[in-house]
Amino acid sequence: MVGLVFVDRLTLTPAQWVALVMVMGLILWREEWQTLLGCHALLLAAFWNRALTTDTHLLFQSASYLSQWTWSAFLSEFPFRDYVKLQPPFYTFWLSRWPSLPLHQYFQANFAVGCGLLMLEIYGDQAKYLLSTPVYLLMSTQPGNDFILFGVVLCVLRLLQLRHRAAAAIGVGVLWLVKPLILIVFPLLCWRVRWWALLSVGILASYLTWSRSYYFGALQWQFLLQQLCLR
């Protein structure tokens, strides 16, 4: 959550600080699924309807405005909205159907429990040190595509661990549809899935071919090249 770390001033109430410290301690003490469920329920209650970052505010402002448009009109309209204009349209469109912060915080809390279980499967007992970090816990309360991207990466890693390379390759392709900056590690992930990487590249090529026929596709591709210092 770059906005929280580099831009926004973190201001929490005493109750939120207590909830955050309690959750950190509980996860370090016992990293079971029941603990994760209880911890994220506690965080959900403490941060209910609270947007901590500028990114979250902009996301829901844009989602509320875009809720009036159907899919085809949405594709033409969202490139003119701050923050979401540089992201693939799928997550934003889904969020715009129900632009309610508490509702999506509830979805995110459940998603965070799933991410926690995946980390425990992948890393074992060591996962508790990431699960208990303040940045991770705060991210789990703020809906956004960064956290969705994190969850999909975990799915890919777990599939690779189980040697399901074909399914992992599809996951690698889906990562691009969540956030194009995954291009930074895209070659490494393709190497991990071996020749199944053709599936990943196919998904990527299909998205680029489709998106470049819209204004948002050209805008996002230009931004991505700038971020990668290729211009």
Given a contact cutoff of 8 angstroms between Cβ atoms, the answer to whether 172 and 156 are in contact is yes
Residue-by-residue pLDDT tens, the chain, 231 positions: 555 666 677 889 999 999 999 999 999 998 788 899 999 999 999 999 999 888 899 999 999 999 999 999 999 999 999 889 989 999 999 999 999 999 999 999 999 999 999 999 999 999 999 999 999 999 999 999 999 999 999 999 999 999 999 999 999 999 989 988 787 788 888 889 989 999 999 999 999 999 988 999 988 888 877 776 654
Pure H helices in the chain: 2-6, 14-29, 33-46, 54-66, 71-77, 89-97, 101-123, 127-131, 134-139, 145-161, 165-178, 186-192, 197-211, 215-227
Distance between CA 139 and CA 135 in Å, rounded?
6
Instruction: Look up the pTM and report it.
Output: 0.90
Between helices 89-97 and 54-66, what is the axis angle to 10°? 70
